[in-house]
């Protein structure tokens, strides 16, 4: 196996492990769902953006009274007793952004790794050639 391939595999593993740790940490911090009275949702439901199922007790209420995903000020959330659920909704959004961000970072790293590897290899060859002459 080439040195370049070994370096790529090791660095790729480090990136993946880091992304997994970030995802697990973010998911662990979520304590509620985005709807009042809802428990924490499964990880893949959050990532896929699956709409939460409304409990029967709140189906007839206006969404402003139970849905923390609706835009509102901090005072409105406090008055409606949705502060914790609002935090959970923001955390779920953050988890999805971090998941997509992991792929973006991985793509950027892929390009930068190969460009920098080619650059440093060329620079080392030039330096060796200049030293030999």
- pLDDT digits over 51-89, tens only? 988 878 888 888 888 899 999 999 999 999 999 999 999
Domain residue ranges of the chain, discontinuous segments joined by +: 3-132
Q: What pLDDT, on the 0 to 100 scale, is given for residue 131?
A: 86
List the one residue out of 31, 28, 21, 38 whose CA is nearest residue 87: 31
13, 123 Cβ separation under 8 angstroms? no
- pLDDT score for 92: 95
pLDDT of residue 59: 81
> For residue 87, what pLDDT is reported?
94
Give tens-digit pLDDT for 29-52. Answer: 999 999 988 899 999 999 999 998
- Given a cut of 80, is residue 130 above it in pLDDT? yes
Tokens of 39: 């428990």
Whether residue 28 is predicted with pLDDT greater than 90 in this model: the reply is yes
Q: What is the mean pLDDT of the chain?
A: 90
Q: Report the distance separating Cα 30 and Cα 45, nearest Å.
A: 13
Cα–Cα distance, 85 to 40 (Å, whole number): 10
**Residue 24, φ and ψ in degrees, nearest 5:** -65, -40
Residue 47 confidence (pLDDT): 94
Q: Say how far residue 58 (Cα) sits from the centre of its chain.
A: 31
């Amino acid at each position: 196996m080439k040195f370049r391939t070994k370096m790529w595999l090791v660095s790729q593993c480090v990136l993946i492990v880091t992304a997994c740790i970030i995802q697990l940490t973010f998911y662990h911090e979520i304590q509620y769902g985005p709807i009042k009275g809802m428990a924490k949702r499964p990880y893949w439901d959050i990532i896929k953006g699956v709409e939460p199922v409304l409990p029967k007790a709140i189906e007839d209420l206006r969404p402003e009274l139970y849905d923390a995903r609706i835009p509102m000020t901090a005072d409105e959330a406090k008055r409606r007793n949705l502060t914790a659920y609002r935090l959970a909704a923001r955390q779920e959004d953050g988890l999805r952004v971090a998941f997509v961000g992991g792929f973006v970072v991985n793509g950027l790293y892929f390009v930068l790794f190969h460009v920098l590897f080619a650059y440093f290899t060329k620079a080392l060859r030039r330096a060796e050639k200049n030293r030999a002459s």
